[in-house]
């Protein structure tokens, strides 16, 4: 097994959910409905759990640091998240569209990982499948509700959000140098294959929601190499504030 490629894959998956969990948690107390506020916060907690599980695999099988040190002890340049998850929440339409496109990608990815030759990942995939199914169900129901079933304003807002989020969402599937080894070892099907499955899935939902995927958009890349948007730094400052004061703090 190409251990460096494996570490790279686990780290980028973990960082994506860690950062998106933080963004989702920023809706706590501010959601448009009480029920929706709770749903977003709860999904954020699930995502944080997935990040912790991935950091634990890195720790146990690949000499990674403790999960807390991995989550809170790294500088921006060492983070491997894609730009999609770093962007500020903006308005609810933007957050919701990001939530949908990201969770559709997660669902496709983890469904494939159920068959992974790397057993700890296959086991984790089976364990979190129900949560991911719910996250996607939540996002998808809202997208259809605000698209085809909503008002002219809600549909226009969702269409604008889709146009803005799409290039960043394509960036989830950035191909990495060691990926080919992982594909031939049966660890995962490869980013290109996942992206095709994802596009097929979201196209079907957008058809129901009467929203159109932008044409000629190109993926925003760079996060997997440690190049990030200007939004990640402030997020990390806030997220790691307690850890930097006292790495052993418990709460």
Partner 1 sequence: MATLISLDPRVTRLGIEQDPGSAPEPKAELDQFHTYEVFHQGKTGAHHVHVGVVHAPNAEMALLLAKEQYGRRGQTINLWVVNTRDVVTMESADSDIFTTTPEKTYRDVGAYMVRNKVEAYKKKQQEGNTNES
Taking only Cα atoms into account, the Rg of the chain, rounded to an integer number of angstroms, comes to 18
Q: Is residue 176 a contact partner of residue 6, using CB atoms and an 8 Å limit? A: no
Nearest CB to partner 1, comparing residues 131 and 179: 131
Interface residue list for partner 1 (CB under 8 A): 33-36, 38-39, 42, 134, 137-138, 141-142, 145, 149
d(CA 198, CA 39): 24
Minimum distance from residue 105 beta carbon to partner 1 (Å) = 20
| DSSP code for 231 | T
In the complex, what is the shortest distance from the CB of residue 135 to partner 1, in angstroms, rounded to a whole number?
Answer: 11
- Cβ nearer to partner 1, comparing 4 with 153: 153
CA–CA dist 99, 24 (Å, integer): 9
Distance between CA atoms of residues 60 and 230, nearest Å: 33
* CA distance linking residue 76 with residue 122, whole number of Å: 29
Q: How far is the CB of 46 from partner 1 (least distance, A)?
A: 10
> Of 90 and 130, which CB lies nearer to partner 1 in the complex structure?
130
Nearer of residues 141 and 204 to partner 1, judged by Cβ: 141
Of 41 and 89, CB closest to partner 1: 41
CB of residue 209 to partner 1, shortest distance in Å: 13
Closer CB to partner 1, 149 or 153, in the complex: 149
Distance CA 119, CA 216 (A): 38
Please report which residue ranges of the chain form alpha helices under DSSP H.
3-25, 34-61, 67-72, 83-86, 92-113, 119-146, 152-170, 179-184, 191-209, 232-239, 241-245
Give 99 or 195: the residue with its C-beta nearer to partner 1: 99
| Closest distance of CB 146 from partner 1, Å | 10
The whole-angstrom separation of Cα 38 and Cα 42 is: 6
What the block records as the tokens of 150 is 């909503």
Task: Provide the 10 A C-beta neighbour count for residue 25.
Answer: 16
What's the min distance (Å) between Cβ of 96 and partner 1?
A: 13
């Amino acid at each position: 097994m190409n251990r460096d490629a494996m570490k790279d894959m686990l780290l980028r998956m973990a960082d994506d959910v860690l950062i998106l969990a933080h963004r989702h948690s920023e809706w706590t107390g501010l959601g448009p409905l009480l029920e929706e506020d709770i749903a977003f916060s709860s999904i954020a907690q699930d995502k944080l759990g997935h990040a912790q599980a991935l950091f634990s695999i890195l720790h146990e099988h690949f000499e990674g640091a403790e999960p807390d040190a991995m989550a809170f002890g790294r500088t921006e340049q060492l983070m491997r998240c894609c730009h999609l998850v770093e962007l500020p929440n903006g308005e609810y339409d933007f957050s919701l569209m990001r939530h949908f496109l990201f969770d559709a990608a997660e669902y496709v990815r983890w469904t494939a990982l159920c068959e992974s030759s790397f057993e700890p990942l296959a086991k984790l995939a089976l364990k979190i499948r129900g949560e991911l199914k719910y996250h996607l169900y939540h996002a998808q129901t809202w997208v259809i509700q605000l698209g085809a079933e909503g008002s002219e304003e809600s549909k226009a807002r969702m269409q604008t959000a889709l146009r803005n989020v799409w290039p960043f969402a394509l960036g989830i599937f950035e191909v990495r140098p060691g990926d080919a080894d992982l594909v031939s070892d049966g660890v995962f099907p490869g980013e290109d294959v996942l992206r095709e499955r994802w596009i097929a899935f979201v196209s079907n939902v957008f058809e129901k929601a009467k929203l159109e995927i932008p044409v000629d958009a190109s993926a925003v890349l760079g996060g997997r190499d440690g190049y990030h948007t200007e939004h990640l730094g402030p997020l990390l400052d806030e997220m790691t504030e307690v850890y930097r004061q006292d790495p052993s703090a418990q709460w």
